[in-house]
Amino acid sequence: MEEAIAFIDDGFLAKLSRYFGNGKYLKFDKIKFVEILSKRENLICKHLFYYTAPPFQSPNPSNEENKRREQYDKFIKNLLKSEKVTLREGRCQRLKIDGKFIYKQKAVDSLLIMDMSFLPFKYQEIKNIILIASDSDFVPVIKNLKDAGINVILATYFEKKRHAKFSTTNELIESAGKCVELSREDFDNAVIEKEEKNDKDK
């Protein structure tokens, strides 16, 4: 089988896991997740690029903020035990809108686009990419990779209804060589083994 490089936008994947988990984040093995997706496409996942942002920390972190940071650090430590994973971290921005705090990842998409752009030079033997994301900002780089002979498989999720929680543009879907719709089953298939659960939970 041919090899592939996987790119995960954690902001999107975490949101989707919470949606399928009815408000609770599903616990699953990120590496196993992309390996299963790759195998389904008759590909072998050679490497995983993982894009995320550490949880927000105020100048004087609260107990809750410290707890989230500890959980994040534990998750990242376990994720990076695998040599096939590269971590890229943006930052978490906190905004106050209508009296409520809103948290957004910043610079994550830029890092992902940058790495995808360099793929033909860094991994000249790789002709397949699995992109787990939903942002139309990735359209230009997908088109450039296609022109360079790279097959981009988009793994995403969207709903065709008004005011949908998950949506994406036809342009993004059509830019990819193939679009695969993610399901709850994909998360369940990558369940964390019981003896590893305490270490890998995010």
Residue 9 one-letter amino acid:
D
Whether the pLDDT of residue 191 is over 60: the answer is yes
DSSP 86: E
pLDDT digits (tens, 9 = 90+) for 118-172: 999 999 999 999 999 999 999 999 999 999 999 999 999 987 766 567 777 789 9
CATH number at residue 27: 3.40.50.1010
pTM of the model: 0.90
Check if the beta carbon of residue 72 is closer than 8 Å to that of residue 128: no
Report the 10 Å Cβ neighbour count for 94: 11
Domain that holds residue 21: 2-200
Structural domains of the chain, count: 1
Q: Which two structure tokens, joined as six digits, stand for 112?
A: 């992902």
For 63-101, the pLDDT digits (tens) are 999 999 999 999 999 999 999 999 999 998 888 888 888
What the block records as the tokens of 39 is 């195998």
Max CA pair span of the chain: 53
